[in-house]
Structure 1
């Protein structure tokens, strides 16, 4: 490590951390055991700082007056930089030098959970042209997402979640052809999801939840055949789903609760055979639950509560052996619940059929101790019987035998009483 690099490192440590006197404790940082710092050998056969971790023990903690150290970009061999819960008291911004030629080696920049980190992302971020991972989540960054970010062609993961960003998702997002993960959730983004999102052919995770996005899901998403996880919940999305959504054969998680969709539930979801979680609650879906959903043999969670779904529950849902969470409450479903006692006990409290006025249970199935929010068909306390197509509770074999036995005893007793009355009448005449 040359003298300039070492002096820069000590200045950064003095700005950020007050754990110890770094100059005295570690006069040769790369040769001493220093948690939070990594060094690698460069082409000049000397050790250089390649990674710095701040804010999370056992790494160096940050002092209360710490601010973002722009000097850190003067470390020419730095590849990874982490600040976790570091800027918590003194307001600070991300400041980058206008020229960062020496920082081209930086591959990972992570600033997470810094409540005093405010302001906008500076456009100079485009100078970090080797950047592969940019994580700026859980801060108080604001303004529009700068289009300069989308010139970082090496980006694999971009996380700007849990901030105060406004404006739309830039059309330039489609330029990040190497992107595997995109998380813009929990901001105040508006406008439509840009169709250019379909150009991210390697994308596996897409999270745009908890914004104010409008319009439909663009048809171009059908090209994202690497997608594993999609979260679009808590927006203002509406309109028809792309018919090509069934082409997302690798999709395992689709979360889209709390959107004013108000359309029939798409049967195409039943073709996503790797799907493990499907959450479409509180979105005004109408019509019946598609029979195709019974093909989702890997499904563990199905949440369809608080919609306007009607008709019967598809019997095929009872064959989903991996299902452990099923919520169909607050709909207009009707008919006999097609689940046996074993299915109901397996799900337990994770099965919720409450507030479906037309649903009822077949009384022949022993469901003692299992509460799923539905009465037995034809029971006196079942006000739904007229709309549920209720049936008379069939008796179990043991109950039927007991009932027949009781009926036989009653008939015999009545015959005996009649005989006694006749004998007494005869005596009276005599």
Structure 2
């Protein structure tokens, strides 16, 4: 306690930490098979549990507690540099280990992490961890949840990750991981949530991803991924969120993605997609948000989009779309500021709609073209942003939170 919180001398105040009348804060005790109370849980940093002092450091002696099952340190290690330590001998009791938002936790992930054989939840997010993900982490085959996001990790995703065959959630986002996504990731057949976004992953998305039959959330945005098998992705029939913006795809927009019946959010912006917007996207009856901005899409907007009766967000900005915007007045009003069509010089709205200022396009002239007629708007691909796209420079387009939408949408074919 002394190395973490200094609000009281708890050794003197309460020599027995599990005494119900004077138990130590941040501790939870439960009776063991010997009918004695033992420390099973430690939580520091999140009220009503004790906060950590500024000079708090990680107490390695913590692993000497033989019945300890759960450790949580949130916003504890802020100023004094501390490192992770794991025991060399196997620990059979610990099931949950969480270190979140600790800026002074500057450390490699020790290979001795493999000693925590019973670990089911490992969260080491928003710290200052660096170096490679140790191969030994793949021996923790009881893991259900693994979160190493928002650190400084480098190197490749371990090829032996397939050994974590009980994983339900895997989050390695916001690091500096490189190399391809290992094909062995397709062996994690219990995965429901996979987030590898904001790294420097390369090559194509492995075809083995199609084996992840119960995946509901897939985020691969802001990497250097250059292709995938649309038919394989279309086999992920339980997918609800597909976030792949900011990758140098440079392929026609795949109509196969319209075969994902549960999809609620689809984000494919800033990826060099070309061709027309597939009408099959209107089959996405649960779609709440569609982001296709900053691509090379051409042709007219499918009028079938009017059938998306409850869509929440639509961004088609900075493309090469043309013609009259086919949306009804009711569609414009419903989306309001969540509709963005700007940066499409050859798009226009009928004057009677009276809503062109909201969507970023001009009123149609007598020949059906926009009355906003500058050369700059007519040649969007000559802008500095389009030049950046051609060079493969991608920018994060933060929209509403991934998991924040709940409405269900319906799409009807027009006759």
Instruction: Say which of 309, 314, 324 aligns to 1:321.
Output: 309
Instruction: Say which of 207, 216, 219 aligns to 2:207.
Output: 219
Cα contact 1:158–1:182 (8 A) shared by 2: yes
**Map of 2:323 onto structure 1:** 335
Matches within 5 A, 1:74-223: 74-99=64-89, 101=90, 103-223=91-211
**Structure 1 gap segments, 5+ residues each:** 1-12, 389-430
**Map of 2:11 onto structure 1:** 23
How many residues are treated as equivalent by the alignment?
372
Where 1:158 maps in the other structure, the secondary structure is strand
* Alpha-carbon shift at residue 382 of structure 1 (Å): 4.1
> How far does the alpha carbon of each residue in 1:61-94 deviate from its partner, in whole angstroms, 9 at most, with x for none?
2222221111101100101000111111111110
Moved more, 89-98 or 20-29: 20-29
Moved more, 52-61 or 180-189: 52-61
Q: Does 1:306 align with 2:311?
A: no
**Map of 1:250 onto structure 2:** 238
**Map of 1:373 onto structure 2:** 360
Provide the rounded CA distance (Å) in 1 between the counterparts of 2:13 and 2:335. 58
Matches within 5 A, 1:364-403: 365-367=352-354, 371-378=358-365, 381-383=371-373
Cα contact 1:104–1:129 (8 A) shared by 2: yes
Taking only aligned residues, the RMSD between alpha carbons, in angstroms, comes to 1.8
**Map of 1:238 onto structure 2:** 226
Q: Which has the higher contact order (CA 8 A, sep 6+)?
A: 2
**Map of 1:400 onto structure 2:** none
Q: Does 1:288 align with 2:276?
A: yes
> How far does the alpha carbon of each residue in 1:366-400 deviate from its partner, in whole angstroms, 9 at most, with x for none?
3358621122221683439xx99xxxxxxxxxxxx
Which structure's residues are more often helix, by fraction?
Answer: 1
**Map of 1:349 onto structure 2:** 337
**Map of 1:417 onto structure 2:** none
Cα contact 2:124–2:149 (8 A) shared by 1: yes
TM-score (norm 1): 0.83
Cα contact 2:245–2:267 (8 A) shared by 1: yes
**Structure 2 gap segments, 5+ residues each:** 379-415
Cα contact 1:376–1:382 (8 A) shared by 2: yes
Moved more, 177-186 or 368-377: 368-377
> How far does the alpha carbon of each residue in 1:147-180 deviate from its partner, in whole angstroms, 9 at most, with x for none?
1111101000000011111100111111111000
Where 1:49 maps in the other structure, the secondary structure is strand
